């Protein structure tokens, strides 16, 4: 895998190279778009020739440069790992991902982790706490106060690393270059997120020994290389010799569990201003405080995200509530009641009850597989489909087929709706009903006897098989008959010991309860709450009751 890395303002912005040619320039159609008037609209391009990535100038106005050498028109040059590219004033680095066993540490975004470099470890110190305060305590305190002052008020994680480097260059005047690496949450490797140089130069990178990085991460300790340039084990390392690194420090940043999530590296090119063990202790103290700042900003960001999510969920709750009827039909001789309690901010239970013309009432009741936001989205779709369908027909047989067909179209796998559709003819006092996989309504007669529809009339849930032939049943509604529909959040409600409310208890409560639909519905909900005895609701609870009073 190859990438091109834009180096800007001490930060790195990678572009993965997956399609060739990859054009670079100011035009929006470029694969690597550059915002600079000094760069041509189509300035250069990267081409793949015999599995070799090459850079080609596209007759640019200010030229394309590879490692300081200007490219000739129509004469592409092959790229190697860590080659420097310059288009006008804009600088890039070309990178090829290593396939060796150390690749999990990353070789990306402008920091070279050189495999051949085995640093001279002149000193090390634990990264836990603030180090030993007996060593230059006044300097440590000054450093901690400075980093606290400079990082105060930051609320974005991306802005912390550059601030840390700026502060470190104040604390350590001998530092020439610095870099901060962070652990990638996806690939679990350390990648550079910020770098800084005290003096401008053609080379934008900060080089870091892979050996040092591994030691810092594995030992969770700071490393000091007091004389890297003169060490024989660095003599073959381009990352040390070509940049004349004389001294370097590298320390980890530890999270609240004591695990490294970041690394800070500083080096100097001046042989007269080498880092000491006291400098290492000071850097560890500053790194520890910087790690705390990261944790604080992450916690703050998590809190702000949670507030935003809560606000959005409150809006969603209001939207869902608006989908449910705010009042039920008020017709002579009948009474209707319904209650809805979501287990979360929004839920997947659904009910509706409305007049179709002057003398018919549609009863619609369902339970989406799943709760929370996914269930609520399907519930909202179901509500819309039912309203649309019933505005064209009051025939239950036709309506249930159309509703199922709509819900089968583009339905998410594993999401379905157990559903009951009924139409009450107020003139004939009869109800026509289709049941798509939901538990049968309980019908309480005037004498307290409770019966249910035949289980063989219950079809499969809506949204599974398009064209399924649902059976439609019809029965008379006698004076005193009351229908009770519940979702499984009622019979599966649990007490603190995990005991279910059970369908049998619902049956018994309906048989012995009030003959008034509203009174019985409210009492049933209250009894479920008594059973739960303070246990958190684990599913949406919806109850609908209706019956003929006279």
Which residue intervals of 324-395 are DSSP H helices? Answer: 372-390
Dihedral (Cα; 31, 86, 240, 200), 10-degree rounding:
-120
The C-alpha atoms of residue 438 and residue 485 are separated, in whole angstroms, by: 9
Beta bridge pairs of residue 196: 178
Is the pLDDT reported for residue 203 higher than 60? Answer: no
Among 205-209, 253-257, 428-432, name the one with the lowest average pLDDT: 205-209
Comparing 243 with 378, which gets the higher pLDDT? 378
Tokens (6 digits) for 144: 């901690």
Tokens (6 digits) for 53: 């990535």
The C-alpha atoms of residue 115 and residue 399 are separated, in whole angstroms, by: 70
Distance from the Cα of residue 291 to its chain's centroid: 23
Determine the average pLDDT of the residues in 269-280. 80
**Looking at residue 518, what is its pLDDT?**
94
The C-alpha atoms of residue 221 and residue 162 are separated, in whole angstroms, by: 22
* Cα–Cα nearest to 65, from 47, 83, 80: 83
**Looking at residue 546, what is its pLDDT?**
96
**Looking at residue 281, what is its pLDDT?**
84
Is the pLDDT reported for residue 449 higher than 50? Answer: yes
Any residues with CB less than 8 A from the CB of 136 and at least 6 apart, and which?
278, 281, 282
Any residues with CB less than 8 A from the CB of 385 and at least 6 apart, and which?
403, 406, 407
Asked if the bond preceding 332 is cis, omega within 30° of 0, the reply is no
**Looking at residue 192, what is its pLDDT?**
85
Distance from the Cα of residue 106 to its chain's centroid: 23
φ, ψ at 302 (rounded to 5°): -65, -40
Comparing 10 with 107, which gets the higher pLDDT? 10
Counting residues of the chain whose pLDDT is more than 90, the rounded percentage is 34
Distance from the Cα of residue 287 to its chain's centroid: 28
Comparing 228 with 521, which gets the higher pLDDT? 521
Average pLDDT of the chain?
81
The C-alpha atoms of residue 417 and residue 176 are separated, in whole angstroms, by: 65
**DSSP state string for 328-343:** ----TTEEEEEEEE-S
Residue 153: pLDDT band (50, 70, 90) is low
Task: Please report the sign of the dihedral spanned by the C-alpha atoms of residue 345, residue 351, residue 356, residue 359.
Answer: negative
Q: In the structure, how many helices (H) and strands (E) does the chain have?
A: 10, 30
Q: Is residue 264 a contact partner of residue 164, using CB atoms and an 8 Å limit?
A: yes
At 386-411, the pLDDT tens digits run: 999 999 999 999 999 999 999 988 76
Among 123-137, 443-457, 491-505, name the one with the lowest average pLDDT: 123-137
Determine the average pLDDT of the residues in 256-260. 83
Residue 156: pLDDT band (50, 70, 90) is low
- Beta-strand (E) ranges in 280-416? 334-341, 349-355, 360-368
Among 117-121, 170-174, 498-502, name the one with the lowest average pLDDT: 117-121
């Amino acid at each position: 895998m190859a990438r091109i890395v834009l180096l800007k303002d001490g930060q790195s912005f990678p572009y993965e190279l997956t399609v060739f040619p990859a054009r670079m320039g100011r035009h929006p159609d470029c694969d690597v778009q550059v915002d600079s008037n000094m760069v041509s609209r189509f300035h250069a391009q990267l081409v793949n020739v015999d599995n070799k990535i090459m850079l080609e100038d596209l007759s640019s106005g200010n030229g394309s440069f590879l490692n300081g050498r200007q490219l000739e028109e129509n004469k592409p040059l092959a790229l190697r790992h860590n080659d420097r590219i310059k288009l006008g004033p804009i600088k890039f680095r070309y990178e090829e991902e290593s396939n060796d066993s150390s690749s999990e540490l990353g070789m990306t975004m402008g920091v070279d982790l050189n495999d051949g470099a085995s640093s001279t470890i002149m000193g090390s110190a634990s990264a836990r706490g603030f180090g030993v305060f007996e060593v230059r305590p006044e300097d440590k305190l000054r450093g901690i106060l400075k980093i606290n002052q400079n990082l105060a008020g930051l609320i974005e994680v991306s802005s912390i690393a550059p601030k840390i480097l700026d502060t470190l260059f104040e604390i350590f005047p001998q530092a020439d270059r610095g870099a901060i690496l962070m652990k990638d949450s996806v690939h679990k490797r350390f990648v550079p997120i910020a770098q800084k140089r005290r003096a401008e130069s053609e080379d934008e990178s900060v080089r870091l020994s892979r050996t040092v990085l591994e030691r810092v991460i594995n030992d969770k300790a700071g490393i000091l290389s007091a004389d890297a340039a003169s060490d024989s084990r660095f003599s073959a390392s381009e990352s040390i010799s070509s940049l004349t690194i004389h001294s370097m420090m590298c320390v980890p940043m530890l999270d609240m569990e004591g695990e490294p999530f970041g690394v800070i590296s500083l080096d100097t090119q001046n042989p007269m201003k080498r880092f000491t063990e006291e400098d290492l202790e000071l850097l560890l103290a500053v790194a520890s405080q910087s790690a705390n700042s990261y944790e604080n900003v992450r916690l703050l960001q998590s809190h702000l995200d949670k507030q935003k999510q809560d606000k959005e969920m409150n809006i969603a709750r209001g939207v869902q509530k608006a989908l449910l009827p705010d009042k039920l039909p008020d017709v002579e001789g009948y009474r209707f009641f319904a209650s809805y309690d979501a287990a979360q901010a929004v839920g997947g239970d659904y009910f509706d009850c409305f007049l179709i013309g002057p003398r018919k009432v549609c009863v619609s009741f369902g339970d989406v597989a799943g709760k929370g936001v996914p269930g609520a989205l399907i519930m909202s779709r179901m509500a819309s489909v039912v309203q649309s369908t019933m505005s064209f027909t009051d025939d239950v047989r036709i309506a249930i087929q159309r509703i199922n067909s709509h819900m089968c179209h583009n339905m998410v796998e594993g999401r379905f709706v157990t559903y009951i559709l009924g139409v009450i003819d107020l003139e004939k006092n009869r109800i026509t009903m289709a049941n798509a996989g939901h538990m049968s309504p309980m019908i309480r007669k005037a004498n307290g006897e409770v019966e249910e529809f035949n289980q063989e009339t219950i079809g499969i849930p809506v949204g599974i098989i398009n064209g399924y032939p649902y059976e439609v049943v019809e029965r008379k509604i006698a004076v005193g008959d009351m229908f009770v529909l519940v979702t499984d959040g009622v019979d599966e409600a649990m007490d603190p010991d995990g005991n279910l409310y059970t369908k049998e208890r619902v049956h018994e409560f309906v048989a012995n309860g009030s003959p008034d639909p509203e009174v019985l519905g409210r009492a049933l909900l209250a009894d479920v709450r008594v059973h739960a005895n303070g246990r958190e609701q684990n599913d949406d609870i919806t109850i609908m009751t209706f019956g003929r009073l006279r």
